[in-house]
Amino acid sequence: MTKLVYVCDGGDCAEKGSVELFETLRAKLAEIDPKEQRLRLRKYPCFGGCEHGINITVWPDRVFYSKITANDLDDVVDNIERDAPRIERLCGHVKPDVEEILWQMLDSPY
């Protein structure tokens, strides 16, 4: 199954470096899956967890990572690649209802 990795591209996250982080993450994922057959990276306009940015989500795994820095990317990539349990230190920062709204949108067939 293909995993979709979304990086927040909203104002607060962009100010915190999400644009640069996206490019670094793209290079790391391309080393593992250059044709995006298993892992696809996309920008997302805003997850609603601005105060906890930079935010990254992994779908369909329903993993919502917050307060991501460039130093976390190797752990995140390794975790995604191995289907390992989520990285707890990066989870649980946003309100559960914010996460649930996102999952409902991503689960929607529309």
What angle do the packed helices 18-32 and 73-82 form, to 10 degrees? 40
Q: Write the CATH number for 85.
A: 3.40.30.10
Domain limits for position 35: 3-107
Residues 29 and 48: their CA atoms lie apart, in Å, by 25
How many domains would you assign to the chain?
Answer: 1
Residue pLDDT tens, the chain, 110 long: 899 999 999 999 999 999 999 999 999 999 999 999 999 999 999 999 999 999 999 999 999 999 999 999 999 999 998 888 899 999 999 999 999 999 999 988 87
Where are any strands of DSSP class E within the chain? Answer: 3-8, 39-44, 56-59, 63-65
Whether pTM > 0.85 for this model: the answer is yes
Query: Quick one: pLDDT at residue 83?
Result: 86
Residues 37 and 20: their CA atoms lie apart, in Å, by 23
